[in-house]
Amino acid sequence: MPEHVAVIAVHGVGSPPQDATARSIAELLVRCAPNASDYRAFSEQHVILPTDPVGAGPARDGTRPSFWARIRNAFRFEDRVELDTELKPFRPDVQFMRRQLAGYRSDRQPYATIELTGTRRRKEKETREITETTVHIYEMHWADLSRVGAGFLRMLGALYQLLQHVCHLGRKTLDIAFEEARADDQGSRHARAAGRYRRVHAMAVRLFTIAVPVATVLMLDWLFLFVPAALRPSLRFPIAVAIAAIGLVVIAMMVAGFAARMRHAARVVITVALLAVGGAVGAIVYAPKARTEGIGSVAIAVLAVVLAIATFAWFLARYHSTRPGALGWGWGIVLAVIVPVWASRSLVAAPTLVERLRNVGFVGFQWSYVALMLSWIALWLAMFVASGLRLLVYRAARTQPEKARAGRASWTARVTIAVTVFFFIMTALVLYESLLNVATRYHERLDIFPHATASAPLPIVSRFLAPDLPRDEVDPPGQPGEQTHRFLEKLIAQSGTSGLRLALVIVLLAGILASWLVVIVISTSIWTPPADSPRWSRLGDWMTDGFALLRAAGLVLVTAVLAFILIGLLADTLRDVGALPSWPWLRRLLDPNGMTPILTRIAIVFGASAATIAALWLRVKTLANRARPALGILLDVDNYLRESPVDGTPRARMAERYASLLRYIVARKAPATATEQERPYFDRIVIVAHSQGTVISADFLRFLVATQDPSVPLDGMDVRLLTMGSPLRQLYAKNFPHLYRWVDASDDDAKPVDFEDRTPDPRALAVSKWVNLYTTGDYVGRTLWQPEDWDDVWSTGFCRAGDRRTERCLGAGTHTRYWTSKDVATEIDTLIG
């Protein structure tokens, strides 16, 4: 009787098309005919599977907190990953995944996939008999659960979300390091030091992801008040009437949508729309021209205020859903800004209502800028204190392996926040400069800048914001708004402090250190070296050196981010007192206005040279589409460790789909015969995973073993695992050393550990055989059980095998060459049996 084997294909990063990975395995087996096996044509059929979530134990506490508890949560200074340290054995990876799955609310969306069925015929060498095995290939597709949106705005939102979330990976790393130290000995010196370091770093992350974005959006939100005065008086009334009519129609549609019992909703909406449009047309056409300008100014001013408030409230509500606490922080910052704005009301004198409103917006813009700068200063102080506390954690660690893991966790935390802070600063400054250039270009059509006249000077709230700009100076004749333009240019220049140019030089040094690895990756992507060439075995050592230089580049970048604000503040202070050395190169490097031409050039290259707003939009969209694949890869990894939204984390949805596919395979039974009872249809399950798919598969199997979930009964099943280009050791265990300690725990032993006893242990995943394949030029995944300094580890054809594990080097190659390799087909065929 022929055997039946289920093969599950799990793709890697990069969002391949659905079902493409399963088809790739079928094509590989048919084309290569490995081990003298003859794979006959595969037939394809569609399968729609019901889904059900994975049991994760008790859900998170869903009781509504008290009023004061909600107030405290709204202004809390830190997020925290809390694990049950009393549970033995303490498995942080299992508990963290349980936390991600606990609050999941499934919508039971069916999973549509394919099943490729073919027959393998092979002549056995010993018996010379021809055996047949029926192979069923399925796909565990997860890219749609962790994918960048196709729309331009959704993609930019994903980019912003990535910049704001990467630093949370470092926070989680320190949280889990603290939980592990607390599980070992709650009152130890190491646990106390790790707790202090974690809290201060979490405060820095909180300030960066809550206070800084909220203050930035509030600062830009005041620009709505600039618009009424920028419009020609004859256009204010028609625009106000048109906006009011559109608002009435939208309100009618919202009321009809929420009123479930409204029987004639369409009739009501159409009636309101007709009345609104008719009233607007009538008001625009028949209203007396002498009175419309005054009414239009008042109406457009009111609409600008309402729009500004509604936009900021909408932003806070949406941002609070992904960053709990943003609502409290946001309205707290608003209150802190409104008070000085009200106190500065004497500065907003102007001859007309819309001019006074624009001056109010200008004053609010400045006080919001002050709030933003205070948030940045608090962030830097927290980062500096955290940098000192990490040294105490390292000294408190009792063993050398603990010190090594503490150092790797600290590197992840420092680099993730430094990278996101630096690129956020540069992105924001370029955005500000681009907006200023666009406003200047279209200034004749849209007079957006406040005017500085003899009777109404520019309302600058503090000399500190523009020390070189005379407060009472008026706009030159024929150049209204020139003083405002100069003020905003100086404000943008000093936002980066005098040390930002020095930071760029240090970042350039970090780029030089990282260039060795970048050049290797790009070179091997363009030209793939021959897999069987012995001389290209050195590529593995070159890649190892590249990763070491990359970690050094990360530390250089951390130094740049921490040092440039101190150097800038020191340079500004010495300049004010006349003590700055007169060396020309130093003065040029620390010139406070030196960033203006750099930002202007970047802004022009980015989009300000476009002839029209439409051309600018098209240019930005083109750049975004080109960056979409790389952004998708980063988001795939980031989403996997995300804890929000609580009711639907990407990892919970992946686990639900994976479990549903396994349930379908396990539940399939062979019909009973006269001589045999009903039995499982499949004799073996072979999981073929690549890249990020290897992490998803290994974590999920380990979770099933640890939790003994009865809904996925794998007991008694022969499960085999093939991983290719697995980042478990190279990326995850190295950068998240406590969360993935189960991967490289054997490295902590002082004595050499035999290959068969090294971690990760296949028995922890309940797999009877685990085969790992790698290439020398794979920049994502490499060895699992062999340290990179072992002899011949990068030699073509190098292979080590044990009872349950096999590791093999496929020679020179890249991260994507596995799906065309005959060696991969051979290993898959061997696991099929």
Domain count, the chain: 2
DSSP at 288? -
* pLDDT at res. 629: 47
* End-of-domain residue from the set 301, 332, 352: 352
* Domain membership flag for residue 413: no
Say if residue 130 is in the same domain as residue 234.
no
* pLDDT at res. 822: 92
The H or E element spanning position 99 is: helix 92-102
Say if residue 661 is in the same domain as residue 780.
yes
The H or E element spanning position 159 is: helix 152-184
State how far Cα 25 lies from the chain centre: 31
Say if residue 134 is in the same domain as residue 230.
no
Residue with tokens 């008290």: 66
- Residue 47 CA to residue 110 CA, distance in Å, equals 10
Query: Smallest Cα–Cα separation from 738: which of 102, 324, 190, 203?
Result: 190
Report residue 3: phi and psi, to 5°.
Answer: -80, 160
Say if residue 230 is in the same domain as residue 95.
no
pLDDT bucket at 475, cuts 50 / 70 / 90: confident
Is the pLDDT at 52 greater than 80? The verdict is: yes
Domain that holds residue 277: 224-352
* Domain membership flag for residue 152: no
Say if residue 652 is in the same domain as residue 779.
yes
* Domain membership flag for residue 522: no
36 in the Ramachandran plot: left (φ > 0), alpha (ψ -120 to 50) or beta? left
Beta bridge partners of 686: 7, 720
DSSP string, 367-411: HHHHHHHHHHHHHHHHHHHHHHHHHHHHHH--SHHHHHHHHHHHH
- Residue 318 CA to residue 332 CA, distance in Å, equals 17
Report residue 111: phi and psi, to 5°.
Answer: -105, 115
* Domain membership flag for residue 539: no
Question: Helix, strand or coil for residue 118?
Answer: strand
- Name which of 5-14, 113-122, 267-276 the model is least confident about: 267-276
pLDDT in tens, 550-573: 999 999 999 988 888 788 778 877
Contact 825, 137 (CB under 8 A): no
* Domain membership flag for residue 256: yes
* pLDDT at res. 71: 61
Alpha helices in 641-691 (DSSP H): 650-667
- Is cis: bond before 760, omega within 30 of 0? yes
* Domain membership flag for residue 13: yes
Average pLDDT over residues 699-708: 93
* Domain membership flag for residue 527: no
In the chain, % of residues over pLDDT 90: 40
pLDDT bucket at 68, cuts 50 / 70 / 90: low
Residue with tokens 């790790």: 194
* End-of-domain residue from the set 309, 332, 352: 352
pLDDT bucket at 675, cuts 50 / 70 / 90: low
- Residue 542 CA to residue 548 CA, distance in Å, equals 10
* End-of-domain residue from the set 352, 382, 412: 352
CATH number, domain of 823, equals 3.40.50.1820
Say if residue 688 is in the same domain as residue 788.
yes
Say if residue 791 is in the same domain as residue 691.
yes
Report residue 581: phi and psi, to 5°.
Answer: -55, 150
Say if residue 654 is in the same domain as residue 803.
yes
Say if residue 698 is in the same domain as residue 819.
yes
pLDDT in tens, 371-391: 999 999 999 999 999 999 999
Residue with tokens 């597709």: 141
Question: Helix, strand or coil for residue 109?
Answer: coil
* Domain membership flag for residue 389: no
